[in-house]
Chains A and B, each alone.
Chain A
Amino acid sequence: MSIASKYKGLSKYARTNIKTYGLVIILFAVLYPLSNAGLVSYSITGQLVPICTYIVMAISLNLTVGILGELSLGHAGFMSIGAFTGAILSASLQDKVGSDPVILLLAIIAGGILAGIAGCLIGIPVLRLSGDYLAIVTLAFGEIIKNIINCLYVGIDSKGLHINMKDAASLGMKGGRIILNGPQGAVGITKIASFTAGFILILFTLFIVINLIYSRSGRAITAIRDNRIAAESVGISITKYKLIAFITSAALAGMAGALYALNFSAVAAEKFNFNTSILILVFVVLGGMGNIFGTIIATALLYMLPELLRDVGDFRMLIYAILLIAVMLLTNSSKAKLILENAKLKLRSIFRKNNDGEVGSNG
């Protein structure tokens, strides 16, 4: 029995596992030595951690959009919560904990927990809605989070943390330093994120998401997506399973946010705006809604694309928009489906003819 047929004989769960983990591990195994040896240009090594965070963001958004079937337009909001939680925690732990990886780990965990709590607080009221209303409310929440962080001032001195919402001067600090400075965002962050940490976070995300999808809860979530009323009538608690998916997605986004913030020396709340949410949505839609493997490839490619095609510049977002519309039209319009099917059949018949010809010539 060949390896290929053995692979086909495996369960879908096992195949997804092999495919996705394999892809991530191979990518890491290739890129890590290359970047360490300095064989990759600086513009790419600088992008490695952001790519990891965007992959985690896209996988977690795919859980909401692809598996749960609800559109969340405020995903960057959860990333933002994680980012600023991580920045504040790492700044306050700097002098107390000596080891950078430990601080990074704690920051990521704290970011995940806080974003998860926010996801729960937002999810309980919001998930009673569905469709367009849910999308617009998640958008509203994203804007509210951005607005609040924009006027949040946090500083640290010997007495501990100072928080206020007026300005930096009224924090009343003696010495110390400012961590969060209103519209400027988090300033003076020590860069402790690393590519290895990003890689581990992706593996962790994959572990959580893939196991959730193929569990009893995951099947309940997809049942809600496919037919809410039917799912409800067989006794599936809509709110409970929607919340499970939504909170998991939010917590993972928070973790990615913490990693993202700790990769830069300063991060502003404006970075996590509606456009970022849309960018992640583009990754998810182009990678395939509900398809984790495709999401990883799409994110990595689309994130690197502008680096590789510098001339495109301004046209990048325009191309994304056109791709988004085109993918939706091609996959959902009945006319386009018909055309695609016909094209497939034609291609197949052409290939078959060629193959027959080869066989004939050999014989």
Chain B
Amino acid sequence: MTLISNLINGISLGSVYAIIALGYTMVYGIAKMLNFAQGDVIMVGAYISYICTTSLGVPALISILISMAVCTILGIMIEGLAYRPLRKASSLAVLITAIGVSYFLQNAALIIWGSTPRAFTSVVPFKSISLFDGQLTITPESLVTIAACVVIMVFLTLFTKKGKMGKAMRAVSEDKDAALLMGINTNRTISMTFAIGSALAAIAGVLLCSAYPVLIPTTGSMPGIKAFTAAVFGGIGSIPGAMIGGILLGIIEIFGRAYISTQLSDAIVFSVLIIVLLVKPTGLLGKKITEKV
């Protein structure tokens, strides 16, 4: 029974990683940059939802919508102010800027909301489900997280395959200049990708803090890095890959914590990243990209 319960916890944590990883993978696929600040957008999303429910008394569902809206605007602003001027700069410059943005968000949150941990109340109003005479308890948060992850993945797959904007995104990720010549507004497409990624981060933030209810300014950084690991694991740029990578990583983390060592669970997760990058750098479902001279 503990095995099944660990498995469910793993899938649930993995679903959160998967939702964040979807944001990473879309941004990486299109803008070819590692948006380091993704993890901190999660934190902002969680704080907005927290403030809406506790201070303003807004119902949980509406608070999620508000936090999604705020994060979307934040994502578009970050892209426009910090990343757009560097479209043609070296990847090192873009990466350092992204780290700067991430650091900025963390410290701005520290000044605005302080370093005292906030106890996040779960947004899921259901009770835990008890099975097999209470031997197996499934928290409603894990079920909602898993369901949300599946819905988001299906929606994103349809969006990129069928929608006009989705087609534009695929075109931009394939060849930015050719897409521009075909009359696609590449800047708007990239902004749109950041908007989607940030909205996903807001959902992930609320779900993450519902399951692990401690909210501090650095809440998002570790899950952010792990979600990037998940995106690399699944193959960066691939939507189903991000989902599979996220869930596998969640299971590895929970099993590592339960059966190997609590303190070493992060080390185990990061070892996975290193092994994947060495054995199959393109990830499980990634496409091989040959470098052009």
Residues of A whose CB lies within 8 Å of any CB of B are 65, 69-71, 73, 125-126, 128-129, 131-133, 135-137, 139-141, 143-144, 147-148, 150-151, 229, 274, 278, 281, 285, 314-315, 317-318, 320-322, 324-325, 328-329, 331-336
A281 to B89, CA, bound (A): 19
B245 to chain A, nearest CB (A): 14
A226 to chain B, nearest CB (A): 10
* A136 x B103 contact (CB < 8 A): no
A333 to B104, CA, bound (A): 20
Number of interface residues of B (CB under 8 A): 43
* Residues of chain B contacted by A132 (CB below 8 angstroms): 33-34, 91, 95
* A332 x B103 contact (CB < 8 A): no
* CB of B99 within 8 Å of the partner chain: yes
* A314 x B110 contact (CB < 8 A): yes
Total inter-chain residue pairs, C-beta < 8 Å: 123
* A143 x B278 contact (CB < 8 A): no
**Given A128-B278, A318-B111, does the pair A333, B267 have CB atoms closer than 8 Å?**
no
A329 to B221, CA, bound (A): 23
A125 to B276, CA, bound (A): 11
Interface-forming stretch among B4-12, B42-50, B80-88?
Answer: B80-88
* A324 x B108 contact (CB < 8 A): no
**Consensus secondary structure, chain A interface:** helix
**Given A132-B34, A133-B281, A325-B82, does the pair A147, B264 have CB atoms closer than 8 Å?**
yes
A148 nearest CB neighbor, chain B only: B267
* A320 x B92 contact (CB < 8 A): no
* A125 x B96 contact (CB < 8 A): no
* Residues of chain B contacted by A150 (CB below 8 angstroms): 263
A236 to chain B, nearest CB (A): 16
Within 8 A of A (CB), among B42-94: 82, 85-86, 88-93
B62 to chain A, nearest CB (A): 31
Query: What are 30 contact pairs spanning A and B, CB under 8 A?
Result: A71-B92, A71-B96, A73-B99, A128-B278, A132-B33, A132-B34, A133-B232, A133-B281, A135-B34, A136-B232, A140-B270, A140-B271, A143-B270, A144-B267, A144-B271, A147-B263, A151-B263, A229-B293, A278-B99, A317-B107, A321-B100, A321-B107, A324-B96, A324-B100, A325-B82, A325-B97, A328-B86, A329-B82, A329-B85, A335-B85
